[in-house]
A and B are shown apart, each in its own frame.
Chain A
Amino acid sequence: MSFTPEAGTPLAAYYAETQPRAGTVLSRRSLGTLDAVTIGRYAMTIGAADPIHYDAAAARSAGYADVVAPPNLLAAIVEWGVGTPETALGADGTPHGGEVPLGEGLRVMGAGEEMELVNPAVAGTEIVLETTLEAVTPKQTRAGACVFVTTLNTFVTAEGAVLNRNRRTVVLRDPLEES
Chain B
Amino acid sequence: MKSTTFEVGDVLPRLRHTATPLQLFRYSAVTWNPHRIHFDERYARDEGHAGVARHSHLRAALALRCVTEGLGPEWHVADVAYRLRRPVYAPVEVAYTARVTALEDDGMTLELIEEQPSGEVGFEGTVRVSRTVRDDTDGTRASTALVAGPV
Footprint of B on A, CB under 8 Å?
38, 41-42, 45-48, 50, 52, 62-65, 70-72, 75-80, 83-84, 89, 92-95, 107-120, 165, 167, 175, 178
Whether B36 pairs with A92 at a CB distance below 8 angstroms is yes
Indicate whether A93 sits within 8 Å of B141 (C-beta atoms), given known contacts A41-B30, A70-B61. no
Whether B61 pairs with A63 at a CB distance below 8 angstroms is no
| A-side contacts of B34, CB under 8 Å | 78-79, 83-84, 89, 93-95
| A-side contacts of B40, CB under 8 Å | 93
In the complex, residue of chain A having the shortest beta-carbon distance to the beta carbon of B149: A116
Q: Give the CA-CA distance A157 to B51 in the complex, in Å.
A: 38
In the complex, residue of chain A having the shortest beta-carbon distance to the beta carbon of B39: A93
Flag B42-82 by CB within 8 Å of A: 1 or 0 each: 01000110000101111011101100110001001111111
Please give 15 more A-B residue pairs, beta carbons under 8 A apart, in addition to A114-B80, A178-B48: A45-B27, A47-B17, A47-B62, A62-B73, A70-B64, A70-B65, A72-B60, A72-B61, A76-B61, A83-B34, A109-B84, A110-B56, A113-B80, A167-B150, A178-B47
Q: Give the CA-CA distance A116 to B23 in the complex, in Å.
A: 26
Indicate whether A63 sits within 8 Å of B139 (C-beta atoms), given known contacts A93-B36, A114-B81, A118-B146. yes
Q: Shortest CB–CB separation between residue B120 and chain A, in angstroms?
A: 15
Please tell me if B31 contacts chain A, counting CB pairs below 8 Å: yes
| B-side contacts of A107, CB under 8 Å | 47
Please tell me if B1 contacts chain A, counting CB pairs below 8 Å: no
| A-side contacts of B33, CB under 8 Å | 77-79
| A-side contacts of B43, CB under 8 Å | 92-93
In the complex, residue of chain B having the shortest beta-carbon distance to the beta carbon of A37: B30
10 of the cross-chain contacts (CB-CB < 8 Å) are A47-B62, A48-B68, A64-B140, A72-B64, A79-B32, A79-B33, A79-B34, A94-B34, A111-B83, A117-B78
**B35 contact from A45, A48, A77, A93, Cβ within 8 A:** A93
Q: Give the CA-CA distance A65 to B141 in the complex, in Å.
A: 8
